[in-house]
């Protein structure tokens, strides 16, 4: 399937980073919402995915005026949109474009329940949408599904300083949630580049990873309770205010990572750790991947409990970012590998001593060649910016095949060299960066324009290679629409069959986020 | 204060014009040789850089509940960003062999030594810490600091003093100017570009209308503006080396400077909270609202 064919026309678009794209609109008397606009008015629209990918529309009803009138009565005219829907129809990477004619913005759980009950009876397909920052087309319509936008449900209902438990609505923007938590000395245990636009509900639905998984673990551990609305309109209340609750099946986990196909998440209870008083960041240069691994082990041993992030960037990835974004200032250059190591602890002096010792030892052993270390918030931010701009630098001016794979740590980087050799002169840049701490590599293969030749070289080789090493073909981005065909590389047929049965049980009419995840 | 440099090289016509305009010695005047300062001949400058320890720019500043200052206890501090630019410029001059030595100075309590160490890690050769106890430091003003820097400049035989244009905690933008006045040295403030010439310095200054180019002779005082350069990170081998570089400690009394407070802080308050705006449906409603509010 020529999924990437639609991107041929997008080659020339100008990307700016997520925060710059978010603009606050006021819509006809409702409160201000953040609407993501297109990168540039000059960028051409991708072709309708239904046409370009030859998608067979499911056996759903067609939307008619009576339906629209019903929703207008239910939500109020202001929260039912039938025009200017491009922002809701197009995915973040501008690869998928749906043809939805209706966007609904419910304000509370009861409205979501009423909407789904109606859609289930009428057999109307629905796509739940959060911040629309997903990278696998899981949050946009493929055909003419109704977009259920959680934008309005953006309140942080409560944050308890003592227990660390926060109750938040699914449409709350991650950065706003984090700000509220920080006001009482807590922080959200999740941090990713899209934080200024993504919704916590979307993060939970996709089990988002990010840069702090090595410290806080993934969302299965941090989410204490979920309130979701099922396809038939039933509200499934699995909210909990406690870390320990072994009563019955732990159903809340079904909604973490199921990408909106089993239910629409409306409320969450999350356990937020306390903000660390001292944050130190080291940005170091190394000569070989062997040294990287040795340094990683040393970091776990010597920094252990204060280690909060361990990221890898290779030379080409860094150079591309520095070339594209002139405002970036890298402390060092000219090394084949760079690592960004962050520590978060409660005592600045102790942490500084630990990290300085870790670096001194690394330098004495000849593994750490150069770099910088700082505890100053300004410098910490600037160094993190380098890491955050790396993925954006790679999609800036050329076509990019992006892969998000989990590989055994020893073979973590070998795939980059293998791909580089395999693609040869067809690729302009083959590089890798990622969450070393979680064995999660983001592999990028860039080329001037999409062409079949390089496409055949890259896929399905990447997935086969990953599968052979028993890795995951999608470590944190999820399956969505773009990776449906590759699910079998990481999950066996028995598991996939059971997933289908579960989907049928939760959503017999298949109205929730169709065409995604399972074929 | 603009002064012209004369040297034995033939002078372009427009400089003749300036000579005539400002009624100064014309080049080739026999006595002009005597007015050439020693540094006009090729000599490397000794540079004194002032660095101030301030609350890090990325930290949210909070007013103390007693309303007599801002919270500094337990808050992350770092080198004033404009001072980083000043240090970078000095280190660059050393790398280009235009400066022989870079001395970093900080005035403040014990913790000020941290920013001197950072300056040393960026490439300064030695540091001077002028110790002022914390209570006195809260009331220390540019008038005091400028006298201290002036005395140090003379003691250390500096040819050039580079400071940041202003500190991000008080936004005073006074120290460089006052230091130059105390020393009676020319000043180049808001530097966007500094070039060393045989005659002294050619400086481009950021002013409201754009860039103004001036020429001064040495010794001089400069204040660094944002676009002068991009400060380097202190890299690991240099951070190690910095620990061994000399750091001298003195007091204002040693320098003969009186730091008696000349001001009293009455109160420190938050700026008023920004009121939310209102969205109106159309121009008529906007006009009506403006009229109702008495704005038009």
Predicted local distance difference test score (pLDDT) of residue A47: 86
Answer yes or no: is B293 within a domain: no
Identify from A33, A369, A379 which residue to disrupt to test chain B contact, counting B C-beta atoms within 10 A and taking the largest count: A379
Q: Do A360 and B240 touch (CB under 8 A)?
A: yes
The residue ranges of DSSP E strands in A8-108, in sequence order, are: 22-25, 33-36, 80-81, 103-104
Q: Tell me which of A17-26, B203-212, B263-272 is least confident.
A: A17-26
Positive or negative torsion for Cα B198, B204, B205, B208 = positive
Between residues B34 and A189, the one the model is more confident about: A189
For chain A, domains (ranges, CATH) are 49-54+62-149 (3.30.43.10), 156-271 (3.30.465.10), 278-469 (3.30.70.2190)
In a domain, B215, yes or no: yes
Nearest CA among A50, A21, A19 for reference residue A481: A50
* Three-state secondary-structure class, residue A434: strand
**Whole-angstrom distance, CA of residue B195 vs CA of residue B222:** 12
Coil vs helix vs strand at B214: strand
- Residue A451 is predicted with a pLDDT of 82
Q: Please report, for the domain that includes residue B113, its CATH number.
A: 3.40.50.620
B134-186: pLDDT as tens digits: 999 999 999 999 999 999 999 999 999 999 999 999 999 999 999 999 999 99
Q: How confident is the model at residue A33 (pLDDT cuts 50, 70, 90)?
A: very low
Q: Does B233 reach chain A within 8 Å, measured CB to CB?
A: yes
Peptide bond into A460 cis (omega under 30): yes
Among A32-36, A239-243, A480-484, B258-262, the range scoring the smallest mean pLDDT is A32-36
**Alpha carbons A448 and A8: distance in angstroms, whole number:** 10
Q: Where are the beta strands (DSSP E) in A436-500?
A: 440-447
* pLDDT(A346) > 80: yes
* CA–CA separation, B187 and B194 (whole Å): 12
If one counts the domains in chain B, the total is: 1
Interface predicted TM-score (ipTM): 0.77
| pLDDT band at residue A400 using 50, 70 and 90 as cut-offs | confident
B210 touches chain A (CB under 8 A): no
Cβ B236–A381 below 8 Å, yes or no? no
B219: cis peptide before it, omega within 30°?
yes
Of B117, B230, B233, B278, which to mutate for an interface test with A (greatest number of A Cβ within 10 Å)? B233
Q: Give the mean pLDDT of A147-159.
A: 96
Cα separation, A210 vs A177, in Å, equals: 16
B59 to A377: CB separation less than 8 angstroms, yes or no: yes
Does residue B168 form part of some domain? yes
pLDDT tens digits, A354-388: 999 999 999 999 999 999 999 999 999 999 999 99
Q: How confident is the model at residue B203 (pLDDT cuts 50, 70, 90)?
A: very high
> For residues B129 and B131, what is the distance between their CA atoms, to the nearest angstrom?
6
The mean pLDDT of chain B is 87
**β-pair partners for B106:** B129
**pTM for this prediction:** 0.82
- Please write the tens of the pLDDT for every residue from A426-448: 899 999 999 998 999 999 999 88
B233/A359 touch (CB, cutoff 8 Å), yes or no = no
d(C-alpha B20, C-alpha B2), whole Å: 14
> Most B CBs within 10 Å: which of A370, A371, A377, as the mutation test of the B interface?
A377
Residue-level pLDDT at B11? 47
Per-residue pLDDT tens over the stretch B3-59: 444 444 444 544 444 444 443 444 444 444 444 444 444 578 999 999 999 999 999
How many Cβ pairs closer than 8 A exist between chain A and B?
52
Coil, strand or helix at A165: strand
Give the closest-approach CA distance of A370 to chain B in angstroms: 6
| Residue B23 located in a structural domain | no
Q: To which residue do tokens 């449900």 refer?
A: A153
Query: CB-based contact (8 Å) between A368 and chain B?
Result: yes
Summarize the confidence of residues B107-114 as an average pLDDT: 96
Preceding amide of B144 cis, omega within 30: no
Least confident interval from A319-328, A367-376, B33-42, B101-110: B33-42
> For residues A397 and B9, which has the higher predicted lDDT (pLDDT)?
A397
Contact A34/B at CB under 8 A? no
Antiparallel, parallel or unpaired: β B45-50 and B160-164? parallel
Of A197-201, A252-256, B32-36, B220-224, minimum mean pLDDT range:
B32-36
- Residue B235 lies in domain: 45-255
Q: How far apart are CA B149 and CA A229, in angstroms?
A: 69
Query: What whole-number distance in Å separates Cα of residue A50 and Cα of residue B71?
Result: 58
Please check whether residue B65 lies inside any domain of the structure: yes
Q: Do B235 and A371 touch (CB under 8 A)?
A: yes
């Amino acid at each position: 399937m020529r999924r990437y064919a639609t991107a041929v026309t997008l080659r020339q678009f100008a990307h700016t980073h997520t925060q710059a794209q978010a603009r606050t609109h006021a819509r006809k008397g409702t409160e201000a919402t953040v609407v993501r606009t297109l990168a540039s008015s000059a960028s051409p629209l991708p072709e309708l995915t239904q046409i370009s990918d030859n998608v067979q529309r499911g056996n759903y009803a067609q939307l008619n005026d009576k339906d629209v009138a019903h929703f207008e009565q239910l939500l109020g005219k202001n929260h039912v949109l039938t025009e200017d829907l491009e922002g809701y129809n197009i995915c973040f990477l501008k690869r998928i474009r749906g043809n939805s004619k209706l966007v609904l913005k419910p304000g509370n759980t009861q409205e979501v329940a009423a909407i789904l009950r109606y859609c289930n009876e009428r057999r109307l397909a629905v796509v739940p949408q959060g911040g629309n920052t997903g990278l696998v087309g899981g949050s946009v319509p493929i055909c003419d599904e109704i977009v259920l936008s959680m934008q309005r449900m953006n309140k942080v209902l409560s944050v308890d300083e003592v227990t660390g438990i926060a109750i938040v609505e699914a449409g709350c923007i991650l950065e706003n949630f984090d700000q509220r938590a920080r006001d009482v000395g807590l922080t959200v245990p999740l941090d990713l580049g899209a934080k200024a636009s993504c919704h916590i509900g979307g993060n939970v639905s996709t089990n988002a990873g990010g840069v702090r998984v090595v410290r806080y673990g993934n969302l299965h551990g941090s989410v204490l309770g979920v309130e979701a609305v099922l396809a038939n309109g039933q509200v499934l209340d699995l909210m909990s205010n406690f870390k320990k609750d072994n009563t019955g099946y732990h159903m809340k986990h079904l909604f973490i990572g199921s990408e909106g196909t089993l239910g629409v998440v409306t409320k969450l209870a999350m356990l937020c750790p306390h903000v660390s008083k001292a944050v130190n960041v080291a940005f170091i240069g190394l000569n070989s991947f062997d040294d990287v691994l040795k340094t990683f082990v040393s970091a776990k041993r010597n920094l252990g409990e204060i280690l909060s992030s361990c990221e890898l960037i290779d030379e080409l990835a860094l150079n591309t970012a520095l070339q594209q974004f002139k405002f970036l200032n890298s402390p060092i250059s000219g090394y084949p590998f760079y690592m960004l190591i962050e520590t978060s602890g409660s005592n600045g002096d102790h942490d500084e001593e630990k990290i300085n010792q870790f670096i001194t030892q690394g330098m004495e052993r000849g593994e750490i060649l150069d770099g910088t270390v700082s505890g100053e918030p300004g410098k910490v931010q600037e160094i993190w910016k380098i890491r955050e701009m790396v993925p954006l630098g790679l999609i800036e001016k050329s076509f990019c095949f992006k892969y998000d794979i989990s590989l055994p740590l020893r073979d973590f980087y070998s795939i980059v060299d293998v791909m580089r050799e395999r693609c040869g002169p067809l690729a302009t840049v083959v590089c890798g960066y990622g969450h070393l701490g979680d064995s999660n590599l983001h592999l990028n293969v860039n080329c001037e324009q999409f062409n079949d030749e390089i496409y055949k070289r890259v896929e399905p080789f990447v997935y086969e290679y990953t599968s052979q090493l028993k890795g995951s073909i999608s470590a944190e981005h999820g399956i969505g629409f773009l990776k449906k065909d590759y699910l079998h590389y990481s999950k066996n047929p028995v598991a996939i069959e059971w997933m289908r049965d579960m989907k049928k049980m939760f959503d017999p009419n298949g109205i929730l986020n169709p065409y995604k995840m399972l074929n | 204060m603009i002064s012209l440099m004369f040297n034995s090289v033939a002078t372009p016509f427009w400089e003749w014009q300036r000579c005539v305009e400002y009624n100064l010695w014309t080049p080739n005047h026999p006595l002009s040789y005597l007015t050439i300062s020693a540094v006009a001949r090729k000599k490397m400058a000794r540079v004194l850089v002032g660095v101030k320890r301030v609350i890090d720019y990325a930290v949210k500043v909070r007013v103390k509940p007693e309303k007599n200052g801002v919270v500094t206890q337990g808050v992350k501090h770092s080198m004033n960003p404009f001072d980083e630019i000043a240090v970078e410029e000095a280190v660059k001059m050393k790398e280009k062999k235009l400066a022989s030595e870079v001395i970093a100075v900080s005035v403040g309590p014990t913790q000020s030594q941290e920013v001197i160490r950072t300056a040393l890690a960026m490439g300064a050769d030695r540091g001077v810490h002028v110790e002022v106890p914390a209570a006195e430091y809260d009331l220390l003003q540019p008038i005091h600091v400028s006298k201290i820097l002036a005395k140090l400049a003379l003691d250390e035989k500096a040819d050039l003093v580079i400071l940041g244009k202003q500190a991000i905690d008080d936004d005073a933008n006074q120290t460089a100017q006052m230091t130059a006045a105390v020393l009676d040295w020319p000043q180049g403030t808001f530097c966007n570009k500094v070039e060393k010439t045989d005659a002294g310095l050619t400086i481009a200054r950021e002013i409201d209308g754009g860039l103004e180019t001036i020429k001064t002779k040495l010794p001089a005082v400069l204040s660094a503006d944002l676009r002068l350069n991009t400060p380097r990170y202190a890299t690991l081998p240099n951070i190690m080396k910095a620990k061994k570089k000399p750091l001298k400690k003195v007091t204002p009394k040693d320098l003969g400077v009186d730091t008696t407070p000349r001001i009293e802080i009455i109160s420190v308050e938050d700026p008023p909270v920004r009121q939310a705006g209102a969205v109106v449906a159309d121009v008529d409603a906007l006009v009506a609202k403006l009229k109702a509010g008495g704005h038009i």
